[in-house]
Chain A
Amino acid sequence: MTTPALQVANVSKIVGHREILHDVSFDVPRGSLVTLIGPNGAGKSTLIKIILGLETTFTGSVTIAPDERIQYIPQLSSNDVHQLPLSVHEYLSIGSAPLFTGKPVITDFSQALEHVGVNARVLTQTYASLSGGERQRIAIARALLSKPTILVLDEPVAAVDYASRQGLYELIRHLQRDHQMTVLLVSHDVESVMPLSDRVLCLNITLHQDCHPVEIDTKDPFAKTVHHHC
């Protein structure tokens, strides 16, 4: 049996008297696409922060296999506009500039953009002037510049119009299947992520049994679905 790319074991977190996460354990096998669903306040964001090493006060353990490189693609919201204008070139440079040199190691951003289906002409444009779909694709391009093996995507279609969603899901599936990337996806879009996912985990403070595609009535509204199955 191969070692999983990511192992979460008995993770719990309490803030004050409130339990945010309770004994959460799961593995993410290499090259798989695992989706985490759950209602608001279920602890998804906290769990992601723990996995990324941004949240250190918890019990349990998170193990990333030694040869794996994890990269996070945050949720873009409709007000995801920087305080000051940032060109797409600058946005990408931030992701590829290592500490202690400060200058991007990769300058061929055109190729990275092409990889995610965005025209290189946007490089000189202001990031905030682009559509939600383009911004999300550019965020993925930025993450790919550091050549990760595990991608953690937080609500990748949250700020994207309906027409662009399918294209984004296809891109994520393409990265997982054709580039053997391990993907951990956090999503509310149950209907769309079900066919993509190798495994769907239902989180509501603690991890409930896996939600298999057949168990989910995709015609149900999300909240009803999650409460029923998680």
Chain B
Amino acid sequence: MELFTLTFVQYAFTGGIMMALLSGVLGPFVVQSRQAVASDMFAHVALAGIGAALLAGTSPWLGALPTLLLVSTLIWWLLERDTYSPDALAMFFLSGGLAIALAFVHVARDTSFAFENYLFGSILTLTRFDLMIMGTATAAVLLLIWNFWYPLIGATQTPSYNVPLRSLPRFIRLMYFLLLAIVVWIGIKTIGGLLIGALLVIPVLVVKEFSRSFLQVTLYSTAVSLIAVTGGLLLALYVDLPPSSLIIGVLLGLFTLSALTRSLSR
């Protein structure tokens, strides 16, 4: 228990809980919209933003946010135009984001920057300032989801014109993309850009068969996210493995348990 008196441990748990709340609440919308790969796409775009921020000499994490918001708006616009298929767009931004990020980081290689901190997260290095920014972003995202709950459920259904909101879903979908961009942005600081997708999607897969409504899916998946993040962090205090891998390890364990329970109950 002494470990919990350490500031970095307290910060890690605080940041992890915020991340779990965000991924648990937004995850059902990601699964429902059949755009699970979007989180990966945004993460790669964030890497390009980090590279650009490095070149500009600003904070990589803070500098990634404007790029993410801008490119997520562009992705939304392209998807709404329906010119390219979502999977082709995903590949374009996945590869493009990574290529640009590599180029930027290569040019700025004289810095003491560690790219893997953003690929696999650095939850144990969170600062008080990071937590303040994350807390503000978490509150804003949760408030928006709370307020636009039903329009968001409607706008993320496919096909979207099945929802009686006429032209409004496209703007709600823009909001959803921006919310996802913010969650991914917090994700790259905590669990890592390559792993945030798992935290958004797997909790929903764990609970969807045990739920009877969208609200239940959201509540249960948030609970699963919280268990995975706190469980993974607790393990990381005693096992010499990266916290992100342990968090996803707990999630995979819960998924296996849920799949077994489902198949046994049939």
Contacts and interface: CB of A to CB of B under 8 A. Distances in A.
Interface in A76-129: 82-87, 89-90, 93-95, 97, 99, 101-104, 124-126
A84 B162 CA distance: 15
B167 interface: yes
Interface in B118-154: 146-154
A124 to B, nearest CB: 8
A142 interface: yes
A146 to B, nearest CB: 6
14 contacts: A82-B32, A83-B157, A84-B208, A84-B217, A85-B211, A85-B214, A94-B150, A94-B165, A99-B148, A102-B147, A104-B150, A126-B213, A142-B164, A143-B164
A174 B230 CA distance: 57
Contact of B161 (A49, A82, A124): A49
B213 A72 contact: no
Nearest to A101: B147
Contacts of A52: 161, 166
B9 interface: no
Contact of B162 (A71, A74, A124, A126): A74
Given A54-B161, A143-B164, A84 B151 contact: no
A177 to B, nearest CB: 23
Contacts of B168: 99
Nearest to A93: B150
A53 interface: yes
Nearest to B215: A90
B266 interface: no
For chain A, the bracket of interface size reads 20 to 34
A53 B149 CA distance: 24
A79 to B, nearest CB: 12
B161 A74 contact: yes
A228 B167 CA distance: 37
A95 B165 CA distance: 7
A97 B150 contact: yes
Given A90-B150, A94-B150, A99-B151, A85 B164 contact: no
A90 B153 contact: yes
A89 B212 CA distance: 11
B208 A85 contact: yes
Contact of A84 (B28, B148, B152, B167): B28
B172 interface: yes
B213 A94 contact: no
Given A72-B164, A83-B158, A85-B212, 5 more contacts: A74-B162, A83-B31, A90-B213, A94-B157, A99-B165
B176 to A, nearest CB: 13
Interface string A121-146: 00011100000000000000011001
Nearest to A124: B212
A124 B204 CA distance: 20
B167 A87 contact: no
Nearest to A72: B164
Contacts of A142: 164
Given A94-B153, A97-B151, A87 B164 contact: no
A101 B147 CA distance: 6
B174 interface: no
Most buried by A among B28, B148, B149, B150: B150
A85 B214 CA distance: 6
Contacts of B152: 102
A52 B165 CA distance: 11
A143 B165 CA distance: 10
B164 A84 contact: no
B10 interface: no
Nearest to B211: A85
A94 B28 contact: no
Given A82-B32, A103-B150, A87 B214 contact: yes
Contacts of A99: 148, 151, 165, 168, 171-172
